[in-house]
Amino acid sequence: MGRQVAAFDWSRTSLGPMENWPAALRISVSNVLNSPFPAFVAWGPDLITIHNDAFRPILGMKPAPLGKPMAENWAEAWEAVSPFVEATMRGESVFFENHEVEIDRSGQMEKAYFTFAYSPLRDEEGVVRGLMDTVVETTSSVEAERKARIRNGELMHRMKNTLAIVSAIANQTYRSSQTVKEANERLLRRLTTLGNAQSVLMSEDHEAADIRAVVESSLAPFRQAIGQIKVEGQPLHLAERHVFSLALALNELASNAMKYGALTVPEGRVRLGWRTDGEDFVLEWRETGGPAVTEPASSGFGSFLIRSVLADDFNGEVTLDYRRDGVVCRLVTAESNLAFRRSAAHHDHAA
């Protein structure tokens, strides 16, 4: 910037030719130009600005500010900045850390954060004639800290929700089990399913997860033979509350199929599919080729997870039909109840 400052026609500004500048202005400009920190000098009644090389990145695509009034260079932010300038021109030093300012340096307004100090510049008689701004942009660090606070809040919220779910599952599992051994086995299976669902969420964006990833993690323990479980459906994302209830419901269906249904025999098959048609989201679990099915004399916590929890979390309807040729479970809810993003392609997969 030194060469640009020397070549600039200062006679067109209120500062006048450089050879007529007072010693205080010359010294201040020299200090700024030789500083490795972003800074500028604003001098005279118009506060004509002179910045250094380190200040350039802060300007972005702004028009060249050299030799222009400070109020013109920062017109969009002047209402917010001018009180600090006025205080400095009264002889006060001003310092702010991570101060938010809305500026336009790319053709559109943006929020930016700066740690800066305004220092009064005095002439040989001690009269304040201008100011020096030493500034560091902290936008990246401020946004990183804000995201960290949000993420920590989300983590605390998720931990509380998970503890509540675990507590409810544990209580209901022990109440509905005949023996401690049975209760322990059921609880371990259900908590493992929760853990897998949480892993899917953590591996993606923490707030939503791909339905196929949820399905795969839920059914992984039950894959005995290739092709026995077929999964098909369009790619979409589910909100967190949907992930846990769907994972638990699928785990219950697969567990029952392995104990009593289609997965008890090699020729048994399970087909799990889902679709959206612009109005409804439909998910169906269908077993075929297994032993004859009879409806249980009583329903336990597993049935409650499928019929009630799944339906409530999806704000839809769940039917569990114990047909003689195989269990059919169907979830129907309005597509608007889902928080998802479609991918570009449709995939079929046999497991």
Place of tokens 């589910």: 238
| CATH number for the domain formed by residue range(s) 2-137 | 3.30.450.20
Task: Write phi, then psi, for 242 (nearest 5 degrees).
Answer: -75, -35
Gyration radius of the chain over CA positions: 34
At residue 203, the pLDDT reads 54
Beta carbons within 10 angstroms of residue 256's beta carbon: 20
CA pair distance 25, 7, nearest whole angstrom? 17
CA atoms within 13 A on the CB side of 287: 30
Whether the Cβ atoms of residue 335 and residue 279 lie closer than 8 Å to each other: yes
pLDDT tens string 164-178: 656 666 776 677 677
Whether the Cβ atoms of residue 75 and residue 103 lie closer than 8 Å to each other: no
pLDDT at 272 over 90: yes
CA pair distance 253, 328, nearest whole angstrom? 10
CA pair distance 70, 199, nearest whole angstrom? 53
Sign of the dihedral defined by the CA atoms of residues 43, 76, 73, 143, in that order:
positive
Whether the Cβ atoms of residue 332 and residue 279 lie closer than 8 Å to each other: no
The pair of structure tokens assigned to 317 is 């309807």
The pair of structure tokens assigned to 35 is 């500083």
pLDDT at 148 over 90: no
At residue 344, the pLDDT reads 35
Hey, what CATH topology would domain 158-350 get?
Heat Shock Protein 90 (3.30.565)
pLDDT tens string 14-35: 999 999 999 999 999 999 999 9
What's the chain's average pLDDT? 84
Q: Which residues pair with 334 in a beta bridge?
A: 280
Residues with Cβ within 8 Å of residue 196, at least 6 apart in sequence: 217, 218, 220, 247
pTM over 0.85: no
H or E segment and range at residue 51:
strand 48-51
Q: Where are the domains of the chain?
A: 2-137, 158-350
Angle at 50 between CA 48 and CA 52, to 5 degrees: 160
Task: Kindly state the percentage of the chain with pLDDT values over 90.
Answer: 44
At residue 14, the pLDDT reads 92
pLDDT tens string 206-241: 567 888 988 888 887 776 656 789 999 998 888 877
CA pair distance 104, 122, nearest whole angstrom? 31
Whether the Cβ atoms of residue 155 and residue 207 lie closer than 8 Å to each other: no
Whether the Cβ atoms of residue 274 and residue 283 lie closer than 8 Å to each other: yes
pLDDT tens string 86-104: 999 999 999 999 999 999 9
